[in-house]
Amino acid sequence: MAPMRAPAWLPMPIRRTLRVVRRQWRIVVRRARKVSAPARRAWRRSLHLRVVTLTLVASSLLVGGFGWFIADRSTQILLDRARDEVSSQMSGKVDYAVSQLTVHRTERDPKLPTTISNTVTRLSDGDPTESGGALLELRADNYPDLKPVISDERIDASALLTREMRHSVANESQVARQIRTIDVRGEPVKYLVWGSPVPTSFGHVELYYMVPLTTEDKAANEIRATVAVTGLALVLLLGLLAGLVTRMVVTPVRVAARTAQRLSAGLLDQRMKVDGEDDLALLAASFNQMAANLQRQIVRLEEMSRLQRRFTSDVSHELRTPLTTVRMAADLIFSERDEFEPAVARSAELLQAELDRFESLLTDLLEISRFDAGFAALDAEHSDLVPIIERVAERLAGLAERVGVTIELRLPDTPVIAEVDPRRVERILRNLVGNAVEHGERRPVEVTLATDDAAVAVTVRDHGVGLKPGEERLVFNRFWRADPSRARQTGGTGLGLSISVEDARLHGGWLEAWGEPGGGAQFRLTVPVRSGDRLVAAPLPLIPRDRDRAIEAAPAVDSSAPQTSPAAPSALGDEPAEVL
């Protein structure tokens, strides 16, 4: 989380410091994200990695908790056993000390120190730094004249006896115990310290029995190390097992994904290998059956499409010959129409007009068949788009005058040179401007040209009936009409925009549409300045500047746009004095 913005009431030096901290924090966060990006990407993309990681984390928590419980219980059992043994020994030592010290009636008895020293010597158990040995001390804190006697002067017993423990034993006459750690010969040694009052005829003295827990501590550490190693091996084994099991499941899925990618690339003969009779084998068999069905359907559809394209091409070519003959006769009749009766002359004019439409339809069908067959080629050359647009406007001036529409050109004063096929660009613009004139509703049609270092864009704007939502994608479909009524006399063959889209795609450009009901429509042609370059942006907006729109309409057709090492901790920790 980023640090909060400094409040305005803070002093300026503090606010500057907080700004520096916030800036440094952002730098650290950005670097952390950059460093962790490969790991996050691998986590998102690999199911195998996620399953193995989650298995390792879950098993680590489970095995760690179970191992901690086992180690703790084992340590507690060892400690309880040591306490029981020390308690049993302590009872005998207290009884012996009582029997030796009760013969003295007063603490001032001159023989009492000797008796105390002999008692300590008699009750001592070997080397107090080794297993099986113990340190014993008799002291009388309530009688300052009696000096404490310890079985081994090499060990500082005062470090093992806390003030709380001595107070409980000496002043409250209670039995107390605790675990303490001191340095003996440069190494830490744990002691179980047991203190008990020893009643005598003149009062009581205190007997402290200090047993080293070296054996128990070593055993607890070994148990903890064994549990840790066993747990680590178990976690690794579970991780390996999870990896193998996941791989058995993920591998067929990856094979299926690769096979599906090959199928989508057109390699329809790709199949998965079927092994066994389990669920994965059933998945592979079902996938192969689906692929076979898709292959049959695609082959059938391709054959039908091929036959359809061939039929269209053959019919178009075959109609050329009779059309030529009919055209010759119609031209002859049309040229002599002034000598005919009015009804016959009108029929000759209608025949001529319909023959023009029929010839245009055949030309469009032949062009579409070339695109479908993949025979269309781009004849690119460095051309100035300004005279091309002017030529289109001049050729459509007669149509615009008949329907009461004016064509307004907004062209740069300097030439706009681009590497294009001028014939195809002129055909695109002729279709766009012609449609705008026909649907202009007697309002001006605006043609705008702009360029930058990478692209050239031409927009054709009309103010007619416009397009309904979703129709900006449909206008480029073959034979699609915004008005489904066939009684309408305006409009061409319905193939002009489809051919224009193919021409734009051949240039590596875009042809897009925008429109709204009653607000008119705008079409935008964008082509790269250099043939073969990739388009990134267009110099002109798709939505007209005169329309206050918050969201730009989606492109109707995108022809080419992409997109020093410390001591190991002991299992037996120090404990405070416990009064029994």
> What sign does the CA torsion over 409, 413, 415, 418 have?
negative
Average pLDDT over residues 400-421: 91
Please indicate, yes or no, whether residues 455 and 386 belong to a single structural domain of this protein: yes
pLDDT for residue 560 is more than 50:
no
Is 130 within a domain?
yes
Average pLDDT over residues 342-353: 84
- Which residues, including other chains, have CB under 8 Å from residue 7's CB and lie 6 or more apart? none
Name the domain boundary from 331, 353, 371. Answer: 371
Q: Residue 112 class from Cβ within 10 Å (0-12 exposed, 13-18 middle, 19+ buried)?
A: buried
* pLDDT tens by residue, 427-458: 899 889 998 998 888 899 999 999 998 999 99
Please indicate, yes or no, whether residues 134 and 151 belong to a single structural domain of this protein: yes
Average pLDDT over residues 183-208: 86
More confident residue, 302 or 553: 302
Average pLDDT over residues 404-418: 91
Q: Of the given ranges (80-84, 106-110, 422-426, 429-433), which has the lowest mean pLDDT?
A: 106-110
Q: What three-state secondary structure class fits 397?
A: helix
Is 63 within a domain?
no
More confident residue, 125 or 370: 125
pLDDT for residue 412 is more than 50:
yes
Percent helix, strand and coil across the chain, each rounded to 5? 55, 15, 30
The pTM of the full predicted model, rounded to 2 decimals, is: 0.49
Is 559 within a domain?
no
**Residue 310: which CATH number?**
1.10.287.130
Please indicate, yes or no, whether residues 382 and 366 belong to a single structural domain of this protein: no
Q: How far is CA 109 from the centre of its chain?
A: 88
Give Cα separations from 361 to 319, 356, 434, 580 (angstroms).
11, 9, 16, 111
Please indicate, yes or no, whether residues 382 and 518 belong to a single structural domain of this protein: yes
In angstroms, the CA 204 to CA 169 distance is 10
Q: Which band of pLDDT confidence, cut at 50, 70 and 90, is reported for residue 296?
A: confident
Please indicate, yes or no, whether residues 333 and 449 belong to a single structural domain of this protein: no
Average pLDDT over residues 25-45: 84
Per-residue H/E/C for 183-199: EECCEEEEEEEEEEEEE
Is 312 within a domain?
yes
Please indicate, yes or no, whether residues 422 and 365 belong to a single structural domain of this protein: no
Average pLDDT over residues 544-551: 62
- The whole-number pLDDT of residue 489 equals 42
The runs of H, that is alpha helices, within 336-415 are 342-373, 385-395, 397-403
Q: What three-state secondary structure class fits 61?
A: helix
- The whole-number pLDDT of residue 484 equals 53
More confident residue, 263 or 118: 118
Average pLDDT over residues 375-401: 88
Which structural domain range is residue 449 located in? 378-528
Q: Which band of pLDDT confidence, cut at 50, 70 and 90, is reported for residue 374?
A: low
State how beta strands 520-528 and 455-462 pair. Answer: antiparallel
Burial 42-57 (b: 16+ CB within 10 A, else e): eeeeeebbebbeebbe
pLDDT for residue 485 is more than 60:
no
Q: With contact defined as beta carbons under 8 Å apart, do 319 and 311 qualify?
A: no
* Distance in Å from the first CA to the final CA of the chain: 52
Q: Which amino acid is at 466?
A: G
More confident residue, 72 or 5: 72
Name the domain boundary from 333, 350, 371. Answer: 371
More confident residue, 566 or 543: 543
Average pLDDT over residues 327-335: 82
Q: Of the given ranges (262-266, 313-317, 476-480, 504-508), which has the lowest mean pLDDT?
A: 313-317
- The whole-number pLDDT of residue 552 equals 44
Please indicate, yes or no, whether residues 190 and 106 belong to a single structural domain of this protein: yes
Average pLDDT over residues 199-208: 87
Average pLDDT over residues 50-60: 86
Average pLDDT over residues 196-225: 88
Average pLDDT over residues 284-304: 83
- % of residues, the chain, pLDDT over 90: 13
- The whole-number pLDDT of residue 551 equals 43
- The whole-number pLDDT of residue 433 equals 92
Q: What tokens appear for 63 in the block?
A: 């095995």
- The whole-number pLDDT of residue 2 equals 46
Please indicate, yes or no, whether residues 168 and 112 belong to a single structural domain of this protein: yes
Give Cα separations from 202 to 105, 108, 118, 148, 326 (angstroms).
5, 9, 19, 17, 149
Please indicate, yes or no, whether residues 99 and 187 belong to a single structural domain of this protein: yes
* pLDDT tens by residue, 170-181: 888 889 989 888
Is 536 within a domain?
no
pLDDT for residue 31 is more than 50:
yes
Average pLDDT taken over every residue of the chain: 81
**Residue 442: which CATH number?**
3.30.565.10
- % of residues, the chain, pLDDT over 70: 87
Please indicate, yes or no, whether residues 349 and 294 belong to a single structural domain of this protein: yes
- The whole-number pLDDT of residue 462 equals 92
- The whole-number pLDDT of residue 432 equals 92
Q: What tokens appear for 160 in the block?
A: 């093992």
Count how many Cα atoms sit within 13 Å of the Cα of residue 165 in the half-sphere of its side chain: 25
Q: Which amino acid is at 260?
A: A
Is 384 within a domain?
yes
Please indicate, yes or no, whether residues 179 and 298 belong to a single structural domain of this protein: no
Average pLDDT over residues 2-9: 58
In angstroms, the CA 437 to CA 463 distance is 10
- The whole-number pLDDT of residue 456 equals 94
State how beta strands 381-384 and 417-420 pair. Answer: antiparallel
Is 246 within a domain?
no
pLDDT for residue 555 is more than 60:
no
- DSSP labels, 512-525: EEEEETTTEEEEEE
- The whole-number pLDDT of residue 173 equals 84
Provide the strand spans (E) within 431-570: 445-451, 455-462, 510-516, 520-528
Q: Which band of pLDDT confidence, cut at 50, 70 and 90, is reported for residue 5?
A: low
In angstroms, the CA 94 to CA 195 distance is 10
- Looking at the DSSP assignment, which residues form a beta bridge with residue 193? 178, 210
Q: Of the given ranges (80-89, 199-208, 325-334, 372-381), which has the lowest mean pLDDT?
A: 372-381
**Residue 155: which CATH number?**
3.30.450
| Local structure of residue 384 (DSSP, 8 states) | E
pLDDT for residue 562 is more than 70:
no
In angstroms, the CA 529 to CA 541 distance is 17
Is 250 within a domain?
no
pLDDT for residue 490 is more than 50:
no
Name the domain boundary from 493, 510, 528. Answer: 528
pLDDT for residue 313 is more than 70:
no
In angstroms, the CA 161 to CA 139 distance is 12
* pLDDT tens by residue, 88-140: 888 888 888 888 888 888 888 888 888 888 888 888 877 777 766 788 888 88
Q: What tokens appear for 270 in the block?
A: 């790709």
pLDDT for residue 25 is more than 90:
no
Please indicate, yes or no, whether residues 209 and 295 belong to a single structural domain of this protein: no
Listed residue (229, 129, 225, 130) closest to 568, CA to CA: 225
More confident residue, 421 or 152: 421
In the chain, the number of structural domains is 3
